[in-house]
Structure 1
Amino acid sequence: MEINLEKAKSLPRLVREKKPLIHCITNYVTATDLANVILACGGSPIMADHPAEVKEMTRLSDCLLLNIGTPKQTTLEVMTKAGMEANRLGIPVILDPVGIGSTPFRTELILEVLKKVNMTIIRGNTSEINTLYSELSKANTEKLFHLPRGVDASDEDRMTEDNISAFMEAAVLLSSITKAVVVMTGATDIIADKERIYLVKNGCQEMLGITGSGCMLDGVLAAYAAASDPIFESVTIATALYGLCGERAAIKTKECKGGTGSFHRFFMDEINLSSQFEQKGGLKIELP
């Protein structure tokens, strides 16, 4: 499959026209930034996680986003209720398995959610995707991953030219098991399903310096997946565009001799203005 560059140019505008409602069951660390980035790219966020109302809120939404970042006693009940309702209605569901492998509790929680809810998209860093694949594929005798440090990829799981093929294999195999589009973020982002794979080489080092850049990407993916089919293509374009916004924000930050705060502001501005700037040649989407 070749990426349709005309669709890449029109998709940000389409998201704004459709203004999809994204139901986020997410973590308290990045909730504000997640809501703001969904608004910035043209979507509409709603964040409801009480067991008594999650099914009703999901029925109103165009996409459901499940982020395991800060689990609590009701997380399993809430996510399975909302996820099963989304599955029943054919609403896309995104899972971010934040920090899987850090503790047995967190790992078991994520696996329990996956037993009951069919995911449309799974987005995680290299450690999270490799850990999830290994947990779901007990046939593996040798684990391909190292336990993540908090929510970051472990040093051993940093993506390089030498090990990228192993990461691509894990992404494809995880997609084969879950039937979801897998988005693995790292030095190079990998978007895969069981038949296709693309590499996205947009992004910048400054994106690692702000808390929640991965959670914010979840929100952009949700808005784009809700606005346009096929989802694989929309997610690939959204991932590249997100990284391009980071690159443009980094340039502006250097021009004003700013730091992390300036980058965060410019980054949100670029996402908000993404339907207006010319993308041709800026999106770095490649076949492996």
Structure 2
Amino acid sequence: MNYFDFPLEEWTNTFVDDWLLPVWGDFFDVISNVLTVIIDGVTNGLLFIPPEVLTILLIIVAWKYAGKGVALFSLIGCVFLGSVELWPEAMQTLAIVLVATFISVVIGIPVGILSATNAAVDKVVRPILDFMQTLPSFVYLIPAILLFGLGGVPAVIATFVFAAPPAVRMTALGIRQVPNDVIEASKAFGSTSKQLLFKVQLPLAMPTIMAGINQTMMLALSMAVVASMIGAPGLGTTVLTGISRVNVGLGLVGGLGIVVLAIVLDRITQSFGKKA
């Protein structure tokens, strides 16, 4: 059925070709250059540290915050990554996940705070988050490639769009769940709005906020294979190569590498939330 003509495709292409790229092209280039430096710096830093040293550090952190079981699994996982010669790829994936998660948290938590404390902001933010979460990830790979080219930068941008909503939603939820009697008591003792936020609401909301950060990190890691389609290095590329060559073993090895990273990061960040 075609009741009327709605040339959305033509309007979108005209907007991108005639206004977005000519006017904002230099701005996107600056963002791309900055993110390239950050991603390369994190990747080179992870690869510079000897795998044995990084494994020991990871085991110590896991043991201290998540328990002996997670520490043992971290050891087994790191040995696995080294034995199948995927340590560099794992560090590349980890770098993209860390950068994307950091950006999501830096932007998501303040937006979540504003959303929880301002009804007008919440009305604007909520449909945007719905759009970000429901739009298929392959759709926003196209503008990411168009604006930032191929490689780690568009992967971080696409991962940010996919993974940021939980950080916003859980921050807003955590602040809204702070009991009203606690807020009233704080105001009665003369707390300013700033003191109420930083000394009462955020500390009490921290377990929920940490749960949001945990979900953000897991969603970022789940984008590893999709991001490899636009040139992102790492374990996703290994899986994609296995798919293109119909190599079941290679795909399994790359997939298990992602699983190892996911479980270790999930358990450790969960433990941070429980101790918050």
TM-score class, shorter-chain normalisation, is under 0.3
Structure number with higher helix proportion? 2
**Greater fraction of residues in strand:** 1
TM-score, normalization: structure 1? 0.25
TM-score by length of 2: 0.26
Higher relative contact order (Cα pairs below 8 Å, separated by 6+ residues): 2
